[in-house]
Structure 1
Amino acid sequence: MSTPRFLDLPPGVTPQKIETPQGTFAVLEALPVSGVVERWPALLVPGLTGSKEDFIAVLMTLAQSGRRVVAVDLRGQYETPGPDDPAAYTCAALGSDLDALAQVIGGGGPMHLVGHSFGGLVAREAVIDGRTKFASFTLMGSGPAGIEGRRARNGRKIMEEVPELGLEHVWQHRFEPEVLAGDVPDDIVAFLRRRLLANSPTGLSSMAEQVLTMRDRTDELRQIEVPTLVLYGEDDDGWSPETQSEMAARLGAECVVVPGAVHSPAVEAPETTAAALVRFWNAAEKHYLDIHSNSL
């Protein structure tokens, strides 16, 4: 589990609620502190046990590139409510939520999509379903199919223990020991506990099942021909660096390895991660405009 480096919101970042036909979503919205919004917006999607706060360290830098940047809590995560229906938490259902958010945020125009870990699997569904024409797609610490290694074992424990024993038990026996071993400050420990306990138990266990069993859709994603970036930490312990590198090659995607990062580059190496995203977004926008200007 990753922790935000700070919980105080930087300049230009505010909590908001976004209303869509599919429900209300809690977000952090970042706007340029200086200058104007002149580039296309971006939507950032967190991982299984994460939330919009996992992007705090990169939001201001991304917005200063001239964009509106929105980080979201998925349905059933932290401050976005969700039902007690497991069907609401499939990758396809959550991907449909992203389509609805994209329509509100982008107004039907092109926008960038970033999915971290499980959020990458969800975001991939939104790209493949074709309802939104994204300007670019970034898989951040995410893979082609179900998660691997130690994080797969943790996912199975969440799937098994949450319905039977509850979120408080999972916090005390799974998350709190790891957090305390990492010498995390007390205020962040309190936030992490509050965040976990605010999750929908049905949502968390259902999403854990999804991240464990998701099938490989890499070939389908390649057919969409959206500019794609695969970005991951050099020591990723979710999907291995080798797995993600191979996925990038199959996609014909750009690949960025973030030095010093593990599974959460936006938390562990925010400056490097933000710089890579801004560069990729700028290139994707130029490519899009070049294509469309030539078609006029």
Structure 2
Amino acid sequence: MTRPSIATPFPPPPGARSRALRTERGEFAVVDAPVAAGVEQRGVALLLPGFTGSKEDFHRLHEPLAARGYRSIAVDGRGQNESDGPAEDESPYAQEELAKDVLAQAAALDAPVHLVGHSLGGQIARAAVLLDHSPFVSFTLLSSGPGEISESQKQRVKLLHDALAVMSMSQVWAAILAMGPPEEVGGPARGFGKLEQMRLRWLNHKPAQLLTTGRQLCVEPDRVGELATVPLPLHVLSGARDDTWPVPLLDAMAEDLRAHRTVVPGAEHSPNLDKPLPTAHALADFWDR
């Protein structure tokens, strides 16, 4: 079941609406973009954001996907931006719990789903697929690697964790700006909109969500062998440069998975933000197959 459009300080892109998706595991804030007028619907896509990210990171994909006949639903996971979650209790953010959320979201859409997970979202999506692949017709890992993140990104996560241990979310935001906009992971001062929207999104995140999922990124095991046994069409899509999982590592993962491989020229860790049009076309081309 779904609810009507909701008021939000994060306006959806043209043709889409912000609403609450009601599932058996609670409500999740989503941006829901139907296919373009006069275009036959070819499929439904569920888009999961990365660490410190949100559904708004996919804003620039909705319109070109709609033109290709794909309804796209971008979701704030539990404790991300406009989706509620506990501020201090970390247990609901364990990877298996978040994976069960994804399965509930797919069930609520009541249609076969093309699953797309960016970065952290890719690892949560992978856990969901390994629990139950039946709701999905394909799975795309978007700038999401086989296991733990690079050492340089682990250091960034550690800095964030150390800061959250002694500072409020607003104080951490001020410190982030004082250091200048960081590169990914997730880039809390980089993204889809104006700086005030970036600040509000950061403040909306639950600290427990950031702490738990940040640790997950630093210790995630390589589950490529498990994923390779799943009978789904797989797609590994990335930019031409990535500091979180080096591109050669993503190339090797795609080969091990016998997955379709797309490298988007001129894009880095967030092709959905860096080069949205070729990224959307690469997704739709894969789904069309």
TM over 0.5, shorter chain? yes
2:57 aligns with one of 54, 59, 70: 54
| 1:79 partner amino acid | E
TM-score w.r.t. the length of structure 2 is 0.89
Name 1:24's counterpart in structure 2: 27
CA RMSD across the alignment: 2.1
- Deviation digits for residues 19-76 of structure 1, max 9, x if unmatched? 1110110000001231255222110000011000000011111122222210000100
| 1:265 partner amino acid | P
Name 1:286's counterpart in structure 2: none
Q: Which moved more, 1:18-27 or 1:131-140?
A: 131-140
Name 2:4's counterpart in structure 1: none
- In the alignment, structure 2 segments of 5+ residues that lack a partner are 1-9
| 1:134 partner amino acid | F
Partners of 2:19 and 2:115 lie apart in 1 by 19
Tell me the secondary structure at the aligned position of residue 80 of structure 1.
coil
- Deviation digits for residues 249-280 of structure 1, max 9, x if unmatched? 11111111111111100000001100000000
Instruction: Check if 1:228 corresponds to 2:234.
Output: yes
Partners of 2:166 and 2:61 lie apart in 1 by 37
Q: Which moved more, 1:124-133 or 1:14-23?
A: 124-133
TM-score w.r.t. the length of structure 1 is 0.87
| 1:22 partner amino acid | R
Contact map agreement 1:156 1:212 (CA 8 A) in 2? no
1:44 aligns with one of 43, 47, 52: 47
Instruction: Check if 1:239 corresponds to 2:262.
Output: no
Contact map agreement 1:159 1:206 (CA 8 A) in 2? no
Name 1:70's counterpart in structure 2: 73
**Identity rate, percent:** 38
Contact map agreement 1:102 1:132 (CA 8 A) in 2? no
Q: Which protein has the bigger helix share?
A: 1
Deviation at 1:175, TM superposition (A): 5.0
Tell me the secondary structure at the aligned position of residue 117 of structure 2.
strand
Name 1:141's counterpart in structure 2: 143
Name 1:290's counterpart in structure 2: none
Partners of 1:176 and 1:258 lie apart in 2 by 32
Name 2:13's counterpart in structure 1: 10
Which contiguous aligned blocks of 4+ residues in structure 1 show a shift greater than 4 angstroms? 180-185
- In the alignment, structure 1 segments of 5+ residues that lack a partner are 1-6, 284-296
Name 1:271's counterpart in structure 2: 277
Distance verdict in 2 for CA 1:175–1:248, change over 3 Å:
farther
Partners of 1:70 and 1:163 lie apart in 2 by 34
Name 1:33's counterpart in structure 2: 36
1:80-119 map, 5 Å: 80-83=83-86, 84-105=88-109, 107=110, 109-119=111-121
Deviation at 1:110, TM superposition (A): 1.9
Contact map agreement 2:12 2:31 (CA 8 A) in 1? no
Distance verdict in 2 for CA 1:266–1:180, change over 3 Å:
closer
Partners of 1:184 and 1:158 lie apart in 2 by 15
Partners of 1:19 and 1:159 lie apart in 2 by 31
Instruction: Check if 1:199 corresponds to 2:205.
Output: yes
Instruction: Check if 1:254 corresponds to 2:271.
Output: no
Distance verdict in 2 for CA 1:180–1:223, change over 3 Å:
closer
Partners of 1:224 and 1:122 lie apart in 2 by 15
| 2:122 partner amino acid | G
